Structure 1
Amino acid sequence: MTIGIAIAGVTKHFFTGLLFIFGLGGIAVIILRQGKTKSILENSINSALTAVETYNRPRVQFRIENYIILMILAWTKLFHAYFQSEIGERYFYKEKNGRYKKVDGEKKAWELTECIKEYQKMQKAYPNLSEPVVANLRFFIGIRNKIEHRYWEGSSLDILLFGECQSLLFNYETFLVTLFGEDYSINTCLAYALQFSHLRAKEQLQAQRDLLSKDMQDIKKYIDKYKTDLPQVIFDSQEYSIKLLQIPKISNTNRNDLAVEFVNWNSLTEEDRVNYQQICTIIKDRIVVQQVLNADLLKPGAVIQAVEGKTGIKISQNDHSLLWKAFQVRPVSTAESKFDTVSKFCIYDEPHNDYLYTDEWVAFIVNLLEKHGFTKDNIRIKCKQKLLFSDYA
């Protein structure tokens, strides 16, 4: 499954080598001549286009990681282009003695966090970034910092981050056009990505469980905490995360209609919004935000109780240990690679330094007892050798 990123009378005067065109509302749009500002802006746009191209190529490794890093670079360069046009070369860090900080002999320019802060407090003709836009940027700054310092498998995060990734791009396009005008719009360069298959709830659930294993756990906790800590009004904003409902256009379709159309929520009538909410209620899974981790996961004692409740057989803690060792569901306590589990059945809980088990593990043990001749008396004998899941499906 690949989810694609998609884009969706004047007066003039001259100042510091730049041409400003005043459009509707009297807000100046910066029109660039050749020079450093234009070069920085072109680098920003090229970075954004490369990010989208990378994300939409299904066989590219580390595509979501590269997308995030390139979009952070695109946003940073966009700010630098604006600062270059407005305040000149003053968007660089300085030492306490007033000299510029340097890295490999080059002045160190403001990073994205600093750019946002400086832009928001500037006196300017343009509006500040909204809180949802800033929340989206800060979310990805945190993600970028984590993926730069560790290896992680990003494919399982594509589904969870798609909305935020799409908003990151839409917000970039909006900010770019706000500052520099429609001539720099990049939406005509981009296409809606083709899809290979339908996304099923079962696949989503497995992807979420995969996130709980190995090096993914830390970044998953960051994502969960960031989202749950957001005010509801920001979380619901399309500027923070695009929520798409993909419904095929089946009937009453004009042959001249576009195959894909994006509907602006703000342009809908109240009646259309009510109808949309009714559609969502019919087809979407209900998601409840909980301030809790490891929901629906079981400690060994709870596994034993669940098995007894289903079969009437009470296995011991030792019997349970023999089973997970024989099927290699998790590593032993002294193993260095504590995250090396069969994520369908078990995950490592790092804060508590122990292991938790899934309902599927309970069902598997029940299946052994009811259909494959396992009993409380022979578990020790049967588990003396390595056992394969495929033999007991």
Structure 2
Amino acid sequence: MPPRPHWWHVLQASKNEARLAVDLYNRSGHERQLEAFIVHMSMGWLKLLQAHAEINGGDPYIRNSRGHRIRHEDGGWRFKPLHTLMNEYFQNTDPRKANINFFVGLRNIIEHRYERNTAALVAGRTQAYLLNYERSLVDWFGQSEALGSELRFPLFLSSITEDAAQAVKTIRAQAPKGVLEWVQDFDAELEPQIAADQRFDFRIYLIPHKGPKTEADAVMTFVKPEELSPEQRAVMDQVQTIIREKHVPVADLGALRAGQVVEKVAAALGRPFTIHHHTQAWKYFRVRPPTNSTNKQNTKADFCRYNAAFEQYVYTEAWVTYLIRKLSDETVYGLVLAYRD
């Protein structure tokens, strides 16, 4: 049997890193599980991209000005880092790239005594980090290399109880301020369509299956939204609306009009902040589409929502907090006020 090519060994090392990441994340207890997952999953992604580069005629190595590979002091070759390979193989509009960048940044600011709360805060993105890896693995190397049959869906409790929505709010309140602000800043830079994409932040609605069980039934089945028929999608939209209404009886309860945002921000800043300045701010931070947009729902939902019943945009307390924090910086304040489309 001929020896395996180098890329195959790199690919197996990548899969081993992903297996270890999942094992460490799913273990009992809460000792640095999130950091361990991020470290090993990032290594898995790095090696996956290296193998992808090799098999497709790319170049995973760092080279000097003459095109020669560069060695480490220990004698091994120097490889391109993860962010370089990402830029070569993922477009800026690819949610996978945003998801990887999120975890590269998050690892640097994790506070270990609050890691459990942080893990709950970013659970959907953590799931997407793994699912994106698996899908890319299969797309690039075939179903025979998939990890899906080896990994187990963990049993969990905290997200399926009647009080789940309140639990998430409590956990968010307990997360470190620095982490919350970093996540908020990262999200504010994302285009709404990327932030809403399942490949960036994986969100599911659990609907218990009731009725007679058949031999073909699985405990849990994932259905891709793009594979649903129009009729099935309509049913799912209805279910999502029911769930949202259950946890948020009045969707815009507590939401603020632009004038109310202006009053709160101006009082906190102690400097001029008018309706015109607020318009400059939502344009600068891209929290909602232009007034003449045909897609008025395309907002950054943490900050702004479109109320179709009253045909107006409303804003959140999180938007007020964000503006106060960002505009307290003289440089940012000047940039926002001077912003032009």
TM-score (norm 1): 0.57
Quickly say closer, same or farther: Cα 1:247–1:151, change in 2 above 3 A. Answer: same
Corresponding position of 1:204: 168
Q: How many residues are paired up?
A: 256
RMSD over aligned Cα atoms: 3.4
One-letter identity of the residue aligned with 2:230: E
Structure 1, unmatched stretches of 5+, are 1-16, 18-32, 121-127, 303-348, 353-393
2:8 alignment partner in structure 1: 38
After TM superposition, give the deviation of residue 113 of structure 1 in Å.
0.5
CA contact (8 A) 1:95 1:101 kept: no
Task: Provide the rounded CA distance (Å) in 2 between the counterparts of 1:103 and 1:168.
Answer: 33
Cα distance change of structure 1 residues 201 and 178 upon mapping to structure 2, 3 Å threshold = closer
Q: Secondary structure at the match of 2:114?
A: coil
Q: Shift of residue 141 of structure 1?
A: 1.7
What secondary structure does 2:200 align onto? coil
1:169 is aligned to 130
What SS does the aligned partner of 1:140 have? Answer: helix
SS at match of 1:187: coil
- State whether structure 2 residue 36 is matched by structure 1 residue 66: yes
Which structure carries more helix by proportion? Answer: 2
The amino acid that maps onto 2:119 is: D
1:158 is displaced (CA, Å) by 2.2
2:228 and 2:67 mapped to 1: Cα distance? 53
AA aligned opposite 1:194:
L
Q: Are the equivalent residues in 1 in contact too, given 2:32–2:112 (CA < 8 A)?
A: no
The structural deviation recorded for 1:95 is 4.5
- Provide the residue aligned with 2:17 in structure 1: 47
Within-5 A mapping of 1:1-393: 34-87=4-57, 90-95=59-64, 100=70, 102=72, 104-120=74-90, 131-147=94-110, 151=112, 153-197=114-158, 198-199=160-161, 200-211=164-175, 216-254=176-214, 256-284=216-244, 285-286=247-248
Identity of aligned residues (%): 25
Displacement of 1:108 in angstroms is 2.1
Supply the distance in 2 between the matched residues of 1:160 and 1:81 (Cα, whole angstroms). 32
Structure 2 equivalent of residue 334 of structure 1: none
Note the residue ranges of structure 2 that are not aligned, 5 or more in a row: 269-323, 329-341
* Structure 1: distance between partners of 2:29 and 2:120: 16
Q: Higher strand proportion, which one?
A: 1
TM-score, normalisation: structure 2: 0.65
Q: How far 1:111 moved relative to its partner?
A: 1.0
Aligned equivalents of 2:48, 2:120: Cα separation in 1 = 27
Higher relative contact order (CA 8 A, sep 6+): 1
Which one has the largest radius of gyration?
1
